[in-house]
Chain A
């Protein structure tokens, strides 16, 4: 269950002769009412999604639905060139049908019934069965197409053309009566009977095929009325021996076949009975597809449903793999003659086809379909006064239903991919700088944490997995190259993300790599995380996120175990009901009725599942759901599990009933970090009163999902999921810094207006700047009580200053690590300073900051840590921020922490007591400062 390889992926290697077909139609009221059209289109779009999950050996896969201009819909599906329609030649009454023998028909009938049974089990009635959509693949196997039209259009309600070909429809599909049961799969049984009878007899079922539909409808009505009045006999013959059937316009060969006669060939009897069973006029007498599978016609002919090459879930899964590296993986390169698209699921092929420049709408336009007529041409030439009948109108093909199927050419895609995967492809090399962005001259707390900890290797690996971006020197992670995809990412990494995402060659390789890793999940989880740090291929994003979050086990059962359907008259339910139809409604999935239902269920489920954790529904939770739901639209349970795992990891306690302290702390740390990294901006914003509580609550409450459109959110979360837990905070700072110039020039009102309407924020730059800030920020500076997983090393120095302080606190442990990057500014009295101070620190009177600022700057240090008398530190630190000193923090516990004997001797710093410390007296208005020059630190190292 839990493996993230889908049925379709596993079975993809059994495809042969792959074609992508496109058909197109518009929803109701194409011209009159835009709103109705849009609503119906959205409904169809939502209902279609479930069709993508269907998989059976005898049906064509649905791949995608695309909304084009004028709300026209394009459906892309698996297509095969051969179909039963090819047996039909000619038009109308001159139709010639190639006759086929019973044994072949038996095979086909069996496979069609298997397919219909599968569809019925999934709540789908074909209602559109026709020789032209009974396709045959290269091996002659039946593949039903077009079976989803009736379903996705809500039984035809969303379109204004009829679904189903009248010649193949039973009476009940045309004359529906109130007391009749729902349309069922039995409709298709009738159609099957007609088709088989036609191919067997070589004659169309109805005389004058194609003409006079009214007469055909009348005949069906006659049949229905007859059966209702007289009743249908229980025997095989049904109505077919009655006289009435001769008045209906059914072709003689068909009737001859259906009726008892003296020279009946016994071998054919089973077949005739089977057709008669299909053609029961009264629905209640007709069998369902599933019942027909056990008809005597099929018995004893060695038909079986054992497709030797068919795999279905659940797959074996293991947390660890022992594999024979030599033989387990056959490198792709060793199959030079294989089609480059071999073994790739159709949905992927279509995705690559689009990346290679494909667009269904332009493709069809090129072939002359969809030529829309100018509106002036569509005005009727004459309108009869009497009955209002219009004449002389030109029907616009762009708005009509067409059952023409176009196939997409994959030639160009193949060429592009052959270049991209061929021997002359761009070679992949790790780009060290990209991952590490190491500044030799600066701190890197992410690396530092690793080397700093005990030498137990498991711990190192753990941290590595959590924080470090892929490191070429880290051999542990390069284990990945064992699985065929020997060459990890390329020079392409240097290109901007948006370009990489549109590069078909690059995505082809990324998708191949991650597909392989997902097949091996959960054993491959570490590697997935490792590679995800470079980037995540959008095509597989949903499942990669789930893998990163560590979703494992029977998540479907978990989801099923919660009650999310019961309507409760609670404030929460009412709130969810009003929020769901307002959540990211520009998104086609979320705006569909099916999308609303799913989102509502997810939210309710989350609330029920977290009742014991005291989490409640806050507005904004809907937005948080949105990325997971849109990425796993057909797997609600997975979407739920992702949300359920994500929230405690990244938004611990945020959805408590009383979250004020959590939010306040978050915003305080945010403010501290802004001062720490951008003192100028921080002091400006602080002076004009532009406080985070005014604009940043939706940022952090929803991790930016309420602020950014979904496409930006995906990119942001790609990084947040694999990044350090403080990344969202730094992202917020990056956003402000991107708007820095604007903000610095603006007053309060204008600043607020910016937060209301973000100019285009570059997410990739944002993330990069966030990560580089993260690297140089000591853990104690970021520390939050409510942080979900405590950063290693920060556990014992979690003393954040009061929330109104402008600057953060830093722990002694982190201060020591800063070494020669830090200037410790001691503002205690000279006397106290001389009694003991931090090595290499300077001592000054806080009132002299203005005079001494220049001298302090000349020290040229990156970090400035204030060591002050208890309570004085924050005030002076704020002044440093106002004076534009970077990375200012206050030492937690002041000098006392150095005097306390810490248990960990590694951390203790000798208090320097050099009495004769040199005086750097800059006799500038009486301002002097002292500087300690004895580097006691060195001796301890």
Chain B
């Protein structure tokens, strides 16, 4: 849920469309390749803010917590392809954990976010990575993103020491872990925009070509999350099979 609508202001940035500056107009005839991506991580590390920066190039101070999950899309261009990210932004509170499989199953990419000023958030990120590697799509591309580097960047000379001291996760440590676990690694600032775009473009590059070019598995057609175990869809039908059917 967007804060904009809460404030009752006129809003409607190209959301589903995402025909933003990323896609030159001459490429509009290119059929976008859909990539389902999920964001995971501890509460208040800035998952929603990262997405908001990527999709609308905006930042909201004190963005309200995500409950359940939020869904957004954004297109971006990679060489001769147009990639449409279908992004599931999940709730951070541990209690919502049971909903997560619904969102990461069938995802081709995941961004696991932690807060560089909170070491505990990296531990949580690690456990998400473990879970993804064990239970998600085996080809899933996982990126680790250390957010909020604006809080530890020196703003002016002389403040360097005090600002740096707010950092609890050294870059090297997280990088080493990412290497070892086979993850892409970034440090980002959703507030200032640093590194946010790189996360998504690097993911796009790394997703196996055949998976993107070949007809995609049916259940991804709708980008929809798969049902929870024990919670099959209505009439036991998979909407993926339904959509092509005229009955």
Chain A residues in contact with chain B, CB under 8 A?
Answer: 571, 575, 578-579, 581-586, 591, 616, 618-620, 622-623, 657, 660, 664, 671, 686-691, 693-695, 697-698, 701-702, 706-711, 747-750, 752-753, 755-760, 803-806, 874-875, 878
In the assembled complex, the Cα of A758 lies from the Cα of B6 at a distance in Å of 9
A-B contact pairs, 7 of them (CB 8 A): A584-B6, A584-B64, A622-B65, A689-B243, A691-B227, A749-B86, A804-B233
Against A, the Cβ 8 Å flags (1 = close, 0 = not) of B210-240 are: 0000000000001111011001111110111
Q: Is the CB of A694 within 8 A of B225?
A: yes
B127 CB to closest chain A CB, in angstroms? Answer: 14
Known A571-B94, A686-B234, A689-B233; judge A753-B222 contact (CB<8 A): no
10 tightest CB-CB pairs across the interface, nearest first?
A689-B239, A697-B68, A578-B44, A698-B67, A709-B6, A753-B16, A752-B71, A689-B224, A585-B62, A748-B222
Judge whether A749 and B223 touch: CB under 8 Å: yes
Q: Is the CB of A691 within 8 A of B233?
A: yes
Question: Are B4 and A757 in touch, CB under 8 angstroms?
Answer: yes
Instruction: Tell me if A756 and B102 are in contact (CB < 8 A).
Output: no
* Closest CB in chain A relative to B225 CB, distance in Å: 7
A750 touches B16 (CB 8 A): yes
Chain A residue nearest to B73 (CB atoms) is A749
B7-15, B133-141, B178-186, B187-195 - interface stretch:
B7-15
Chain B residues engaging chain A, CB cutoff 8 angstroms: 1-8, 11-12, 15-16, 43-44, 61-73, 86, 91-96, 98-99, 102, 222-225, 227-228, 231-236, 238-240, 242-243
**Inter-chain contact A689/B231, CB cutoff 8 Å:** no
Given the interface contacts A686-B234, A691-B233, does A756 sit within 8 Å of B243 by beta carbon? no
Determine which of B67, B72, B233 lies in contact with A620 in the assembled complex, contact meaning CB atoms within 8 Å.
B67
Q: Note all chain B residues with C-beta closer than 8 A to A708.
A: 6
B184 to chain A, nearest CB (A): 25
Q: How far is the CB of B75 from chain A (nearest CB, A)?
A: 11
A579 close to B43 (CB less than 8 A)? yes
Q: State which of A619, A689, A755, A804 has its C-beta within 8 Å of the C-beta of B240.
A: A689
Chain A residues closer than 8 Å to B6, beta-carbon distance: 584, 586, 708-710
Cα(A575)–Cα(B61), bound, Å: 18
- Say whether A706 contacts B44, CB under 8 Å: no
- Check if B64 sits within 8 Å of A875, measured CB to CB: no
Q: Which of A657, A695, A702, A804 contacts B232 (CB 8 A)?
A: A804
Cα(A874)–Cα(B235), bound, Å: 8
Contact with A619, one of B43, B233, B243 (Cβ below 8 angstroms): B43
| Bound Cα distance from A690 to B12, whole angstroms | 21
Given the interface pairs A688-B239, A701-B68, A748-B222, the reply to whether A757 lies near B12 with Cβ below 8 Å is: yes
- Least CB distance from B12 to A in Å reads 7
Knowing A581-B62, A688-B222, A697-B67, say if A756 contacts B1 (CB, 8 Å).
yes
Give which listed residue, A687, A694, A706, contacts B242 with CB less than 8 A: A687
From known contacts A582-B63, A584-B64, infer whether A753 and B72 are also in contact, taking CB-CB under 8 Å: yes
Contact of B231 with A664 in the complex, beta carbons under 8 Å: yes
Cβ A698 vs Cβ B1 within 8 A:
yes
CA distance A584 to B62 in the complex (A): 9
Among A622, A689, A875, residue most surrounded by chain B Cβ atoms (within 10 Å): A689
Interchain nearest-CB distance for A745 vs B (Å): 12
Give Cα A160 to B73, complex, Å. 47
Tell me if B231 and A803 are in contact (CB < 8 A): yes
B11 contacts A757, CB within 8 Å?
yes
Specify which chain B residues have a CB less than 8 angstroms from the CB of A571 in the assembled complex. 94
What are the residues of chain A within 8 A of B99 when measuring CB–CB? 693, 697
User: Nearest chain-A residue to B61 (Cβ)?
Assistant: A585
Cβ-closest chain A residue relative to B8: A709
Complex Cα spacing A67 to B99, Å: 42
How close is A680's CB to chain B, nearest CB, in angstroms? 15
Give chain A residues whose Cβ lies under 8 Å from the Cβ of B7: 586, 709
> How far, in angstroms, from A144 to B66 measured CA to CA in the complex?
48
- Give the chain B neighbours of A698 by CB distance below 8 A: 1, 67-68
CA gap between A619 and B64 in the complex, in Å: 10
Please determine whether B1 and A583 come into contact, CB atoms closer than 8 angstroms.
no
- Given A687-B243, A693-B231, A702-B67; A758-B5 close (CB under 8 Å): yes
B151 CB to closest chain A CB (Å) equals 14
* Distance in Å: Cβ of A879 to nearest Cβ of chain B: 9
B228 partner residues in chain A, CB cutoff 8 A: 693
Q: Is the CB of B68 within 8 A of A689?
A: no
Residues from chain B with a CB closer than 8 A to the CB of A689 are 222, 224, 233, 238-240, 242-243
A262 to B3: give the CA distance in the assembly, Å: 77
The answer to whether B1 and A618 touch across the interface, beta carbons within 8 angstroms, is no
Q: Does B234 lie within 8 Å of A582, measured CB to CB?
A: no
Minimum distance in angstroms from B112 CB to a CB of chain A: 18
Alpha-carbon distance between A758 and B1 when the two chains are bound, in angstroms = 8
Q: Are B62 and A701 in contact (CB under 8 A)?
A: no
A678 to B190, CA, bound (A): 41
Cβ-defined contact, A619 with B234, below 8 A: no
Bound: A159/B236 CA distance, A: 65
CB distance from B92 to the nearest CB of A (A): 8
Q: Which residues of A contact B16 (CB under 8 A)?
A: 749-750, 753
Nearest chain A CB to B84 CB, angstrom units? 9
Q: How far is the CA of A693 from the CA of B225 in the complex (A)?
A: 10
What residues of chain A lie closer than 8 Å to B1, measured between beta carbons?
698, 706-707, 756-758
A-chain residues with CB within 8 Å of residue B73 when the two chains form the complex: 749, 753
Contact of B235 among A583, A691, A755, A806 (CB under 8 A): A806
Q: Which residues of B contact A875 (CB under 8 A)?
A: 235
Q: Could you tell me the distance in whole angstroms from the C-beta of A920 to the nearest C-beta in chain B?
A: 26
Q: Quote the shortest CB–CB distance from B183 to chain A (angstroms).
A: 25
A contact residues around B238 at 8 Å (CB): 689
- Contact A618 B234, CB 8 Å, known A694-B224, A701-B67: no
Min CB distance B107 to A, Å, is 14
Question: Smallest CB–CB gap between B53 and chain A, Å?
Answer: 16
C-alpha gap A1/B184 in the complex (Å): 61
Q: Give chain A nearest CB distance to B6 CB in angstroms.
A: 4
Identify which of B61, B94, B234 contacts A671 (C-beta below 8 A): B234
Q: Please, how many angstroms separate the alpha-carbon atoms of A619 and B224 in the complex?
A: 24
Q: Is the CB of B15 within 8 A of A757?
A: yes
Q: Is the CB–CB distance between A753 and B71 below 8 Å?
A: yes
18 further A-B pairs in the complex, CB-CB below 8 A; given A585-B64, A693-B68: A585-B62, A586-B3, A618-B96, A619-B66, A688-B222, A688-B239, A688-B243, A689-B239, A697-B99, A748-B224, A748-B239, A749-B86, A750-B16, A753-B15, A753-B71, A804-B231, A805-B235, A875-B235
Residues B72 and A756 in contact, CB atoms below 8 Å apart: yes
> Contact at A709–B5, with CB atoms within 8 Å?
yes
A707 / chain B contacts, CB cutoff of 8 Å: 1
B245 (CB) vs chain A CBs: closest residue: A687
B-chain residues with CB within 8 Å of residue A688 when the two chains form the complex: 222, 239, 243
Among residues of A, the one whose C-beta sits closest to the C-beta of B63 is A582
In the bound complex, how far is the Cα of B236 from the Cα of A805, in angstroms? 9
Given contacts A752-B71, A753-B73, A756-B72, contact A582 B86 (CB under 8 A): no
- Per the bound structure, the CA–CA distance linking A461 and B71 in Å amounts to 47
Contacting pair B224 A757 (CB below 8 A): no
Question: Which A residues touch B12, using CB under 8 A?
Answer: 757, 759
**A756 and B64 within 8 A (CB):** no
Q: How far is the CB of A142 from chain B (nearest CB, A)?
A: 44
User: Which residues does chain B contribute within 8 Å of A686, judged by CB atoms?
Assistant: 234, 239
Q: Is the CB of B95 within 8 A of A618?
A: yes
Cβ contact of B71, chosen from A582, A591, A756, A874, cutoff 8 A: A756
Cross-chain contact B64 with A583 (CB below 8 angstroms)? yes
* Residues from chain B with Cβ under 8 Å of A697 in the complex: 67-68, 99
Most buried by B among A616, A708, A710: A708
B214 to chain A, nearest CB (A): 21
Chain A residue nearest to B65 (CB atoms) is A619
Q: Which residues of chain B are near A706, meaning CB under 8 Å?
A: 1, 64, 67
| Bound CA span A698–B99, Å | 13
Closest to B72 in A: A756
- In the bound assembly, the distance between CA atoms of A694 and B225 in angstroms comes to 8
Given contacts A618-B93, A804-B236, contact A582 B5 (CB under 8 A): no
